[in-house]
């Protein structure tokens, strides 16, 4: 499956943005499909967006005068987190794919191994900009701003502001200082993505942070067969998310890209989908093998 | 985490997720999401 990852990412981006003719019209899709969230980071102000952005939708509900917490979006994210974990980041997120394409530009590449403490920043972004500020920093009528979307998210400019301002002169005329700030963030993320692998996903993405919390209990897991592993370290060197799959197969930073599977010379690493961690079955198979060996002797 | 405990945690979380999602829809959050998503989000595109 990891061999076709690029195609799956392209397909997921297309499905997330099905209404392509809207790019020419300069308007948004306004159907009921937008009641449902998409799994990846995809702005609902993108003309082609087929669903709602889960992070934007959460802030919209929390920042509304009616609600101070979103059970709908939290439940949706817990469900996806348990079913898929950060497989969504590796295979289904349009902004993750965008950063990967930028990283393919042939220039000198830099390692993020020494910048590991920055990976905790995304949890602060999730807690402060997505949960706390929109819920508690409210105006007189009890409405809060979507702080992450307004001040940090580069996807709104990439998918929303740029195509809409090209097609619609009214929107183009209304862009001001906030757009300049967000456009600089987008340019910084683009520049960093060329040098580093997925910098926004590693350091800033609140959606990745939420799914990361579920990687250990997700049904979609990485599995290492200790009997086949020869400890050559090729998997850890191949991992661009700085994870050693032999030590922590379900690390919070693992996006299930499958680079370790392809790098392993003994096919000791594989994907596994199911309840539990499959150790009982492995143990049973091992016991059976030992018994068979004993009988043969 | 043992295999049994992990499976139990997965089942509990799945049930929690489904319950929260249904409760959110029941109290009208889905309508709030739709009303926001079909309009141009000024903050998202940098107007405001």
Q: What is the ipTM of this complex?
A: 0.95
Q: Which of A38, A45, A47 should one mutate to test binding to chain B, selecting the residue with the greatest count of B CBs within 10 A?
A: A45
The arithmetic mean of pLDDT across residues A278-296, rounded, is: 55
Q: Are residues A186 and A278 in the same domain?
A: no
Could you tell me if A136 and A175 lie in one domain? yes
The boundaries of the domain holding residue A148 are 2-212
Tell me what pLDDT residue A140 has. 87
pLDDT in tens, A111-159: 999 999 999 999 999 999 999 999 999 888 889 899 999 999 999 999 9
Chain B contact present for A152, CB below 8 A: no
A224 plus A207 within the same structural domain: no
| pLDDT tens digit sequence for A207-217 | 999 999 999 99
Q: In terms of domains, do A57 and A171 share one?
A: yes
Q: How many domains does chain B have?
A: 1
Average pLDDT for residues A99-120, to the nearest whole number?
96
Between these two residues, A288 and A238, which has the higher pLDDT value?
A: A238
Cβ distance of B20 and A181 shorter than 8 Å: no
pLDDT tens digits for range A227-281: 999 999 999 999 999 999 999 999 999 999 999 999 999 999 999 999 987 665 5
Q: Which of A212, A247, A264 delimits the end of a domain?
A: A212
Task: Identify the CATH number of the domain in which residue A236 sits.
Answer: 3.30.70
Dihedrals phi, psi of A170, to nearest 5 degrees: -65, -45
How many domains does chain A contain in total?
A: 2
Partner A contacted by B20 (CB < 8 A): yes
Instruction: Find the residue in B nearest to A176 (Cα).
Output: B47
Q: Examine the domain organization and report whether A225 and A126 are in the same domain.
A: no
Statement to judge: residues A122 and A43 lie in one domain: yes
CA distance A103 to A247: 27
Q: What range does the domain containing B27 cover?
A: 3-45
């Amino acid at each position: 499956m990891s061999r076709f990852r690029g195609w799956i990412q392209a397909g997921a981006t297309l499905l997330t943005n099905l209404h392509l003719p809207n790019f020419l019209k300069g308007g948004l899709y306004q159907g009921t499909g937008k009641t449902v969230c998409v799994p990846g980071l995809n702005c609902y102000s993108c003309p082609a967006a087929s669903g709602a952005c889960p992070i934007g939708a959460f802030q919209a509900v929390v920042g509304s005068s009616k609600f101070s917490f979103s059970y709908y979006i939290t439940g949706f994210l817990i469900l996806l987190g348990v079913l898929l974990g950060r497989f969504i980041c590796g295979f289904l997120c349009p902004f993750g794919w965008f950063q990967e394409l930028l990283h393919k530009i042939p220039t000198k590449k830099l390692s993020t191994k020494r910048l590991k403490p920055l990976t905790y920043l995304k949890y602060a972004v999730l807690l402060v900009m997505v949960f706390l500020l929109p819920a508690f920093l409210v105006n007189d009528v009890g409405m809060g701003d979507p702080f992450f979307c307004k001040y940090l998210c580069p996807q709104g400019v990439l998918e929303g502001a740029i195509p809409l301002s090209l097609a619609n002169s009214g929107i183009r005329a209304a862009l001001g200082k906030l757009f300049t700030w967000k456009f600089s963030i987008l340019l910084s993320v683009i520049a960093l993505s060329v040098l580093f692998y997925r910098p926004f996903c590693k350091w800033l993405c609140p959606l990745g942070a939420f799914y990361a919390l579920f990687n250990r209990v997700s049904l979609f897991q990485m599995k290492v067969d200790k009997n086949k592993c020869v400890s050559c370290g090729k998997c850890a060197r191949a991992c661009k998310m700085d994870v050693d799959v032999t030590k922590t197969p379900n690390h919070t930073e693992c996006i299930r890209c499958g680079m370790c599977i392809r790098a392993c010379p003994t096919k000791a690493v594989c994907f596994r989908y199911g309840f539990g961690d499959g150790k009982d079955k492995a143990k049973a198979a091992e016991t059976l093998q030992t018994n068979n060996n004993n009988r043969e002797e | 985490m043992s295999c049994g405990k992990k499976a139990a945690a997965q089942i509990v979380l799945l049930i929690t997720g489904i319950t929260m999602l249904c409760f959110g829809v029941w109290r009208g959050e889905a309508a709030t999401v739709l009303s926001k998503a079909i309009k141009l989000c000024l903050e998202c595109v940098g107007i405001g």
